Structure 1
Amino acid sequence: MLPQLMKAIRVHQYGGPEVLKLERVPIPNPEVGQVLIHVHTAGVLPYDWKYRQGYFKESRPASFPYIPGSSFAGTVEKIGSDVHDLYKGQEVFGRSLFGTYAEYTVASAEGLILKPAALTFDESVTIPGSAVTAWLTIFREGELKKGEKVLIHGGAGGFGMIAVQLAKWKGAHVISTCSAENIDFLYSLGVDTVIDYTSESFDKIVRDVDLVVDTVGGDTLERSWAVVKKGGKLLSLIEDPSVEKVKMFGLKPVKPFSIPSSEETKFISQTISQMIIEKQVSILISKKFPLEKAHEAHKLSQQGHGRGRIILNV
């Protein structure tokens, strides 16, 4: 029988890592079409600490208190009504709007992906948290094709390391920026040209790329405009590229990033799962923290320049 309370990290106000509080709160009850998940692993994404800091308080204001996190891997604990193809004990992964820095979370049944036995929970949590976004960015929005050139900023990070591998798998010429300590790591992933941004200016080296994927923003985004060839694309995960500059530099307009359907998400997730199993894509977990050390996980994420993904083992 389930207990009434669970351990969870909650945020009661905007602020630094110290506002992440370990508390005991009621276990949520799955509603129609939902499933209660016993969380084994939660992904720690850059979005999590930026939301906590209040970066999006104008466009997406927080409803306090809230539980951070969106990506999870775990087991089915309880089925809501109108759910017929899942059962208790199944190993799954996906995303939740309820929050995942907790022992339990609820998620839409139609969005759950069955975890292959060959994947660990730690590996699986990187798929909804990083890999699906990388696939959508590179292939759906970026329309990258075999033989094209792509520049991916921050290629050693949780998103970047998957994006460079997917681009290489597609047959593109892959260029990526990173700090000095990650140069060999990116070459090991198959990147064709690695640029150490601490000692070289990418915009003095790179020219006429078909696609730029920006994970940094600011000055990096501004200097990226000039390296894209006419008719190419520039996508940023940090800022919305200027419509005026798209026209000025003769780039191909990019439609607003739309949320994928559950069918599209399942296809991408299952494809990448198989790619990981077959060693076509490598996953790196840079650091694991217990739930009560979520504030340390956020501190590390905020430092940036890291390699791979940070996770919480609940």
Structure 2
Amino acid sequence: MRAITIQEYGNPDVLRGEQVAVPSYNDNQVLVELYATSVNPVDCNIRAGVVQEVFPVHSFPHILGLDLAGVVKEVGTAVTQFKQGDRVFGLGSTGTYAEYAVAEEDQLAKLSSTITFQEAGALPAVALTAWHSLFHYGELKEGQRVLIHGGAGGVGHVAIQMAKRAGAYVMTTARASNHKFVRSLGADEVIDYTSVDFSEAARDVDIVFDFIMGIDQQKNSNVLKQGGRIVSIVTPSIEDIVKAYGVEGKFVVVNPKREELEQIEGWLQEQSLKAYINEAYPLAEEALRMAHTRIETKHTRGKLVIQIRE
């Protein structure tokens, strides 16, 4: 099968197009013929070797990619929820920059024919991350005030929609060119981080969602009301860092369930959750290098999708 691999850690130039074997699967797994996946910032961090403690690559060549959307090709003998030919989406156990990937049965959900593979392939990782950040770690409740950093990005643009659905008052940071976009998603208040210090503009916040590396955690702490918390997907030591400022910090570890993917699929069907697809790239070496370079600017709106099959 065709796949995009890395032979070593490095910049986007280490991405290589190769012919590799179709992955094998066990009794509890599903082999999926992929139609779409997407590029996430964590893919770039794994490729660069900067998150080896959390996401180690055990052997090269290595196929990147988390998200998958496609059609079930084969199932393990213990699989009961899926059969050959089912449209599915979810997270891969093997890399998804490829024509086929393996997934655990409980990390897949069936996909309605009304939802495109591109939209489904854009969402699993960011939607599950937003869900767990908001509700498992943030314990978000109706009427609370939340600050979402990077609201126009992959996780951010989904988190805004989920927070609004839950009845929160949503503040977000975004450059001026993205203000209209994030307001269309439901943001109540937008802070232009290029010209305004967010710690002076935001006040009485219940939960800060920290999705961007490098933000001053003292400033995050300063915007919180008493009893508020910071939830981070980029700072593993967040709990210890913010303890000095007298606030609670939580680092997000996503342990997805099929029921959550099914709920996300339901929201997609009723169009109360949408994935903004910035651009679709083919499964090709140079295209993926371009996509990784673009993601690393940290100014991508929405998601970059990889179209594997039509």
- TM-score, L = length of structure 1: 0.92
Contact 2:35 2:117 in 1 (8 A): yes
Alignment partners' CA distance in 2, 1:117 and 1:95: 19
Moved more, 103-112 or 91-100: 103-112
Query: Equivalent residues in 2 for 1:70-81 (5 A)?
Result: 70-81=66-77
- 1:308 paired with 2:302, answer yes
Alignment partners' CA distance in 1, 2:53 and 2:273: 37
* 1:202-229 deviation line (CA, Å, top 9, x unaligned): 1111112000001112134442121111
* 1:30 match: 25
* 2:51 match: 56
Which residue identity is paired with 2:183? Y
* 2:136 match: 140
Alignment partners' CA distance in 2, 1:209 and 1:156: 20
Alignment partners' CA distance in 1, 2:206 and 2:32: 41
Contact 1:13 1:65 in 2 (8 A): yes
How far is 1:61 from its partner?
2.8
Which residue identity is paired with 1:92? V
How far is 1:158 from its partner?
1.1
- 1:47 paired with 2:47, answer no
Alignment partners' CA distance in 2, 1:294 and 1:235: 30
Query: Equivalent residues in 2 for 1:175-186 (5 A)?
Result: 175-186=171-182
Contact 1:101 1:291 in 2 (8 A): yes
Which residue identity is paired with 1:16? N
Alignment partners' CA distance in 1, 2:294 and 2:304: 8
How far is 1:86 from its partner?
2.1
Contact 2:149 2:211 in 1 (8 A): yes
Alignment partners' CA distance in 2, 1:29 and 1:245: 42
Indicate the SS of the match to 2:121.
Answer: helix
How far is 1:30 from its partner?
2.0
Aligned counterpart in structure 1 of residue 261 of structure 2, from 237, 260, 269:
269
CA RMSD of aligned residues (A): 1.6
Alignment partners' CA distance in 2, 1:260 and 1:242: 19
* 1:90-129 deviation line (CA, Å, top 9, x unaligned): 1001111210000011111232110112211111123312
Alignment partners' CA distance in 2, 1:244 and 1:67: 34
* 2:163 match: 167
Aligned counterpart in structure 2 of residue 281 of structure 1, from 250, 255, 273:
273
Contact 1:231 1:250 in 2 (8 A): no
* 1:22-46 deviation line (CA, Å, top 9, x unaligned): 0001112222211111010012100
Q: List gaps (5 residues or longer) in structure 1.
A: 1-5
Indicate the SS of the match to 1:26.
Answer: coil
* 1:3 match: none
- TM-score, L = length of structure 2: 0.93
- 1:189 paired with 2:185, answer yes
* 1:38-79 deviation line (CA, Å, top 9, x unaligned): 010012100001110011124433121110001100001112
Alignment partners' CA distance in 2, 1:210 and 1:36: 42
* 1:9 match: 4
Alignment partners' CA distance in 2, 1:182 and 1:75: 35
Query: Equivalent residues in 2 for 1:80-159 (5 A)?
Result: 80-159=76-155
Q: 1:127 to 1:177 in 2, by over 3 A?
A: same
Alignment partners' CA distance in 1, 2:115 and 2:12: 31
Alignment partners' CA distance in 1, 2:145 and 2:112: 33
Indicate the SS of the match to 2:301.
Answer: coil
Alignment partners' CA distance in 1, 2:253 and 2:233: 13
Alignment partners' CA distance in 2, 1:119 and 1:73: 10
Contact 1:165 1:189 in 2 (8 A): yes
